[in-house]
């Protein structure tokens, strides 16, 4: 693994807190012509490695059997936004990773609506703020 830059470290720190929480998140990744959605606890495995093709630092959050893997190229994240969005049925608590063009790379939606999970989310929101510029 290459040493993390300051912006990469901020992305790593927030994703590590999400991982360490043990709460399930709805992971939404939008690509050109496709959308992937799944609900999972982001772990228990977590690692950072360099991409063999680009050399970029990749953070991986994976299930024990690695049937679920969420990879993030840390240097591609230019901004992180934390929002609460009210819907008719519930409040969505979302962490969005944005690229340099302001496009969403992925959204992580807290899937646990317990009081304890909401308190945890409010705590990281207070710690990081709504708009994390990198």
DSSP string, 5-64: PHHHHHHHHHHHHHHHH--EEEEEEEETTEEEEEEEE--SEEEEEE-TTT--EEEEEE-T
Residues 6+ apart with CB under 8 A from 42: 15, 18, 19, 25, 27, 61, 70, 108
pLDDT tens digits, residue range 71-82?
999 999 999 999
Could you give all domains of the chain from N- to C-terminal order, each with its CATH number?
6-39+77-133 (3.40.1570.10)
pLDDT digits (tens, 9 = 90+) for 37-65: 999 999 999 999 998 888 899 999 999 99
pTM of the model: 0.93
Give 65's contacts (C-beta < 8 A, 6+ positions apart): none
Using an 8 Å Cβ cutoff, are 82 and 128 in contact?
yes
Q: State the pLDDT confidence band at 3, using cuts at 50, 70 and 90.
A: confident
Structure tokens at 76: 């591609």
* Residue in the structure block whose two tokens are 């990469």: 8
Q: Which residue has the tokens 């977590």?
A: 46
């Amino acid at each position: 693994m290459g040493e993390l830059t300051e912006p990469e470290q901020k992305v790593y720190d927030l994703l590590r807190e999400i991982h360490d929480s043990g709460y399930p998140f709805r992971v939404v990744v939008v690509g050109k012509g496709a959308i992937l959605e799944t609900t999972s606890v982001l772990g228990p495995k977590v690692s950072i490695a360099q991409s063999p093709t680009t050399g970029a630092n990749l953070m991986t959050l994976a299930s024990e059997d690695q049937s679920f893997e969420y990879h993030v190229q840390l240097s591609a994240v230019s901004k992180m936004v934390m929002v609460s969005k009210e819907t008719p049925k519930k409040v969505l608590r979302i962490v969005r990773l944005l690229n340099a063009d302001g496009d969403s790379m992925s959204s992580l939606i807290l899937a646990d609506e317990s009081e304890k999970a909401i308190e945890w989310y409010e705590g990281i929101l207070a710690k990081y703020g709504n708009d994390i510029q990198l």
